[in-house]
Each structure stands twice: as structure tokens, then as C-alpha cells.
Structure 1
């Protein structure tokens, strides 16, 4: 088995404090992280165009369904397996998880999104460089893994591993970052007001812990990417006449 060096803190060097690890997760989960998550609607814009999402209640239900039927069973489950694999330096496992993500994107649009965001995270780490041990460590590990390209959940798991964050905290941060981006997409495309967006975010926050627990316990044979209507709408979005979001 081809492995990398495990993420072990030298005995003479103090590891990050819990506060630093938490701040790193907040940093990585922030919509301001320049990886482009804000530029995608993940089929939501096409759902609005098709009349399936048309007000706050329908947008909320759409995102709750996507959280439980899509994110929890796919990207969160991959993240939950990839983070410990990065920690122990198991590149064979990491490569297999990365390939699974690439092979199970249901549309060209979804595949381009995960590839672009993974590459952007690598570039973020490269440009951060010596300004942060986190950036330097993430770039070195992702670059040496030669995933070609790294997918977003696998790249983010690498960053969380270098942040020395707890798995559950990392997953909560990843899911909440996704929720913030998707609520902003709903505000722009439905459209909705900021107060509606905050109510939607509050509702998603209630369900995120359960989605994280489900993803953490999901064995490999049960991991899946199967959301047929979302895939159909994503495929339609690729050729949608008028779009606010990237395709």
C-alpha cells in the first residue's frame, strides 16, 4: 500500500490549541473562502426555472431533501472517510475515495464543480504559503498526493486533517458552509429576502447534526450518489437560457 507520512506533530513542537483548530474550521467553512462555492446553485436555479421551487417553504424543503438524500449519503460520507485517511497517510484510500467522487457525479456540471473547487482549494493553499502553517501543509500534502484533480470533499478533508480538527466539528463546518452557499443561491434565484434566508438557514442547522451522524456511520457499500430529479435539473441547467449561476 502506498502511504504518505502521517500527520504527526513533532514532540518538540506544540500542536494547535482546540481554539486554533476551531478557528481553522470556521475559516475553511466560510463562504468567503475563495473556492467558488457561491457561484453554483447545484440544480436549484433550474428547479426555480421549472417551477418546482417558488417560495420560502418550497426552497427550504428542497434544500432539506438535498441535505439528507444527497450531501449526507455522498460528499459528507466521503469526507468522513477521507479525513482519517489523510491523518494516517493512506494515499491508496484517499485516491479511491477521490475516484468515487469523480465517477459518481451525475452530470457534467456537478463533476466540473467538484473539480474546480478542489483545484481552487489547492491554489488557495499555494498562495497562502508561508503566511500559515495550514496553507503550507495543505498544499504540500495535496500536491504530493497527485490526485489529478483533487475533488472538493477530499481536498477539504485534507485541510481539516491539517487543522487538527475533530471529525464531527469538521463535518458540521463543511455542511454549514454548503448550507450558507445554497441559501444565498435561493435568495438570489427564487428570489427571497434576507429574513427568509435566515429562517431557511435556521431550519437547515436543525437537521445538519443528524445528517453528519448518518454520514459518519455510513459504510462504503451504502454510500451513494442517486438523486435523479436533481441530476435532470442540473443537466437542464447546463443549457438553461438565462442563468445567474455557473454551469
Structure 2
């Protein structure tokens, strides 16, 4: 991979990217409130499970299919994948998150990548979701597909580790051990995502959906709903 491609992927994976990913706990805060996550070990186990059963089978799988679609200018496929993401968010909170992060990354794309104006215009016309926006940004880097997924997954892991530190709460050393556990599991999750086709891609995570719905009306919370 060229240095420029690597640097752009690092930029996309950074929690400092101004798209708001750090402001969501993706149900972890609700799990803490319900007493399901109370320690470093439970937080690490929870997030590793979420990586494999939720992220890998849904968003990462969509990104794996969307990057080639962007490169091939397959507008029909891009629209289908974006619609699938919108249709499979199981709570208003989860849908609001992907829409807000998609819009924010679209605004970033207008000035910070080599994405073509017609690609940006297409994305803007679709009620853009985060996976499709990330796929466009990643496709513009010229980086290999697997590396793009690794970058996305690691960016998610950093955000979720920070959520665990704030919500459980935990110390920084605990957070680094959680991130180490997630990093060790990311390659397998990416390989699963790459192997999934339309029939096997799925976003069915009922416990996360229930916790997300509860989080929308949780009395006291740190993270955005």
C-alpha cells in the first residue's frame, strides 16, 4: 500500500474524524445501566461479541460490498446497499446514528478526499448512511479492500473502548486491555465480512435493539440518543 493510502486510512479510522462516532455508545451505556456490563472483563466480552455478531455481519459486510460498487460506478448497487442499512436499523436511535454519521462524513468528503463530484452527488441524493459514506471515502484512498475494513473496525473499536471507559466506568489501562482484545479479534471479523453475500448478510441483534430502545428514554445518560 502506498504511503498516501495508509495515511488516509489512518485518518478515516481516527476518533478525531469529525463525524460524531465518539458520541454514541451503541447500546453499551444501556447495558451498563441494566447491570449487564459491570467490569472490564464483561465490557471486553460484550464488545468482542458485538464485533462478531453485529458489526462483522452487517456494517463491515456492507462496506466490503460497497467499495467495489463505488469503484465500478454501480449506482444501482450503491442505492440498494444504502437502503438495506436504513431498513435494518432496529431502533430509531441506531437509525439516527447511521444517518447523522453518514451526513457528517459526506460533508467531510466534499473537501478532504479524491472522491469524484458525481460520486458525492449520488451519495447526497440517497439519505446517506455511514457504511456507504465510509465505503466511498475508503474507495478513494486506493487501499486494498481488506485494509479498508481493518481500518473501519479499528476505528469502531477505539470509539467503543472510550465508551466503556466512560460508562462502566474504567481506567485507561483497562481501556487499553479492552482495545487489545478487540484488535486481536478484528482480523477474523473482517474475514467473515468479506465472505458474506447478500443472503447471509444480516443485522438481527435483538438484545442490542431492545437496549437501544431503552437507551432512548434512559433517565440519565452520557451518550447521544
For normalisation by structure 2, the TM-score amounts to 0.97
Match of 1:222 among 194, 200, 208: 200
Shift of 1:177: 0.1
The CA deviation at 1:145 is: 3.9
Aligned residues: 225
Instruction: Map 1:165-244 onto structure 2 (within 5 A).
Output: 165-244=143-222
**Is the contact made by 1:122 and 1:138 (CA closer than 8 Å) also made in structure 2?**
no
Preserved contact between residue 138 and residue 158 of structure 1 (Cα < 8 Å): no
Task: Write the distance in 1 (CA, Å) between the matches of 2:103 and 2:80.
Answer: 18
Equivalent-residue separation in structure 1 for 2:89 and 2:151 (angstroms): 22
- Deviation for aligned residue 1:139: 5.8
**Shift of residue 138 of structure 1?**
5.8
Gaps of 5+ in 1: 1-16
Task: Indicate the residue corresponding to 1:41 in structure 2.
Answer: 25
Match of 2:127 in 1: 149
1:25 and 2:9 correspond: yes
Q: Report if aligned partners of 1:95, 1:147 keep a CA contact under 8 Å in 2.
A: no
Cα distance in structure 1, aligned partners of 2:132 and 2:122: 14
Return the offset for 1:148.
Answer: 2.9
2:78 pairs with 1:94 = yes
Quote the residue 2:139 is aligned against.
161
Report matched runs for 1:6-25 at 5 Å.
Answer: 18-25=2-9
Which residue, out of 63, 66, 78, partners 1:79?
63
* Cα distance in structure 2, aligned partners of 1:32 and 1:190: 22
- Matching residue of 2:97: 113
